[in-house]
Amino acid sequence: MPVEIVMPKLGLTMVSGTIARWIKAPGETVREGEPLVEVSTDKIAYEVESPANGTFARSLGKDGDEFACGDVIGYIALAGEAETGGPGPATASPAPFVEVPRERAAANGTAAASATANGARIISSPAARRLARQLGVALSDVRGTGPRGRITMADVHEVRHSGPAHIAPGDVPAASVTLPPRLPAARRAIYRKMTEVGRLPLAQVETVARVDAVHALMQRRGDFGWTAFAVRAVARLLRDHSDLRTDATTGAPFDRIDIGVAADTPHGLIVPVVRDAERRSLAETQLEIVRLAALARDGAIGADDVGGACFSISNVGPQGVERVSPLPDPPQTAILGIGAATLRPAVETPATERLGGDFAVTSSAPSIVAAWMLTCVVSFDHRFIDGAPAARFLADFARACADPGVLL
């Protein structure tokens, strides 16, 4: 019996998923665990791995087709089974049936003749297709340099000789990124995303905040960490600094203040989201972050807990590093990076202003003191956000660090 490929359920609220892209074309040989199809929900892109060793026999949906979770979206033929195996459309799910083009079904090489990328036909010359078949190059890994991006023989040779490292032009650049052939599956999504981000006009503002007060509070309460503090502070500030939560897809601010938190996991970078961070107390925020981190570490995070953030925070403090210059996670347009809070020499001016007018001004020279300090960087997409609003936001963040009471 052919093995079914099923639309996964990636979260409690997920009822359906869309085939973003078939990574394999019918006729291609697949190994168990090898990425087979990229599916997407409104929140997450996920690569479904092959459930078995065999031949990708048939897809029941084309790119862009939506399936209910649990529906069969294709079949893997095991050794000895017909490559067009699997039940016919009548017994398959009610999802749209797509006849596999004969050319593809007949292809038994490692490269499909006309693999699709994000629903768009790959345009390639006949000779380039044949050459790709002969060389075992996947056309999806080739950047076409001909008219309309047509892949020519020279393009196939180029990949063969230098490996894929190109971004294909086109309507959907991220999906057309050429992946290095030996890239681990876990890195594919970030590879594509960062390739796209790399083309954005990013700018940064940076400051070093005095965080003695936060540090003292943290020591006293013990129920939150630096990440939770940053989430809480940022969530509060974003209410007014709506520029910093611009949605790149609309150009207008995100409505909900959901904050993404970059997490280092054995499965690579994952960015779980603290939903409605604005409404959570510091302690609740901390609990949520702990919960999300555990799920992420275990590879159990669901679609409900990722995607949709309006802003993200990257904290490299746990690694003991003082400064990070992060990249925004589109369609978000800004991100805050914080390092480790450390004691650093600080220059203190006389406390006149700080202490208020009740004291006589006892003017004295500035002095150097040891202070808890935090390096903060805001990276932002300059297409949507100018330097001044970003600087005001960062200044307000630094102020909150100095006087956390406003958050509590």
- The answer to the question of residue 256 lying near other proteins (CB under 8 A) is no
Contacts of 45 (CB under 8 A, 6+ apart): 20, 38, 39, 189
Binding mask 352-371 for other proteins (x = CB under 8 A): --------------------
Please name the residue ranges forming H helices in 20-141.
Answer: 102-106, 126-135
- The answer to the question of residue 152 lying near other proteins (CB under 8 A) is yes
Find the length of the chain.
408
Burial of residue 31, with CB atoms counted within 10 A of its CB: 0-12 exposed, 13-18 middle, 19 or more buried: exposed
Query: How many CA atoms, within 13 angstroms, populate the side-chain half-sphere of residue 237?
Result: 25
C-beta closer to other proteins: residue 89 or 146 = 146
- The answer to the question of residue 154 lying near other proteins (CB under 8 A) is yes
Contacts of 171 (CB under 8 A, 6+ apart): 120
Tokens coding 116: 């699709």
> Segment 83-142, which members bind other proteins (CB under 8 A)?
125-130
C-beta closer to other proteins: residue 144 or 164 = 144
Among 80, 88, 147, 357, binds other proteins (CB under 8 A): 147
- The answer to the question of residue 173 lying near other proteins (CB under 8 A) is no
| Paired strand residues for 375 | 208
In the complex, minimum distance from the CB of residue 55 to other proteins, in angstroms, rounded to a whole number: 23
* Residues 141, 159: Cα–Cα separation, whole Å: 8
C-beta closer to other proteins: residue 129 or 236 = 129
- The answer to the question of residue 145 lying near other proteins (CB under 8 A) is yes
In the complex, minimum distance from the CB of residue 145 to other proteins, in angstroms, rounded to a whole number: 6
- The answer to the question of residue 193 lying near other proteins (CB under 8 A) is no
Measured at the CA of 264, the angle between CA 258 and CA 268, to 5 degrees, comes to 105
Quote the radius of gyration of the chain (alpha carbons, Å): 26
Tokens coding 226: 């630096």
* Residues 49, 37: Cα–Cα separation, whole Å: 7
C-beta closer to other proteins: residue 152 or 332 = 152
In the complex, minimum distance from the CB of residue 151 to other proteins, in angstroms, rounded to a whole number: 10
- Number of residues located near other proteins, criterion CB under 8 A: 13
Q: What own/partner pairs with CB < 8 Å and gap ≥ 24 does 120-129 have?
A: 120/170, 120/171, 120/172, 122/151, 123/148, 123/149, 123/150, 123/151, 124/150, 124/151, 124/152, 125/150, 125/151, 125/152, 125/153, 127/152, 127/153, 128/152, 128/153, 128/155, 128/156
- The answer to the question of residue 146 lying near other proteins (CB under 8 A) is yes
Q: How far apart are the first and last CA of the chain?
A: 61
C-beta closer to other proteins: residue 166 or 275 = 166
- The answer to the question of residue 351 lying near other proteins (CB under 8 A) is no
C-beta closer to other proteins: residue 170 or 302 = 170
- The answer to the question of residue 157 lying near other proteins (CB under 8 A) is no
Q: Which stretch binds other proteins (CB under 8 A): 41-49, 148-156, 268-276, 371-379?
A: 148-156
In the complex, minimum distance from the CB of residue 132 to other proteins, in angstroms, rounded to a whole number: 11
C-beta closer to other proteins: residue 103 or 348 = 103
- The answer to the question of residue 222 lying near other proteins (CB under 8 A) is no
Binding mask 265-294 for other proteins (x = CB under 8 A): ------------------------------
C-beta closer to other proteins: residue 131 or 259 = 131
Tokens coding 141: 């890994």
C-beta closer to other proteins: residue 152 or 314 = 152
Task: Enumerate binding residues for other proteins (CB under 8 A).
Answer: 125-130, 145-147, 150, 152-154
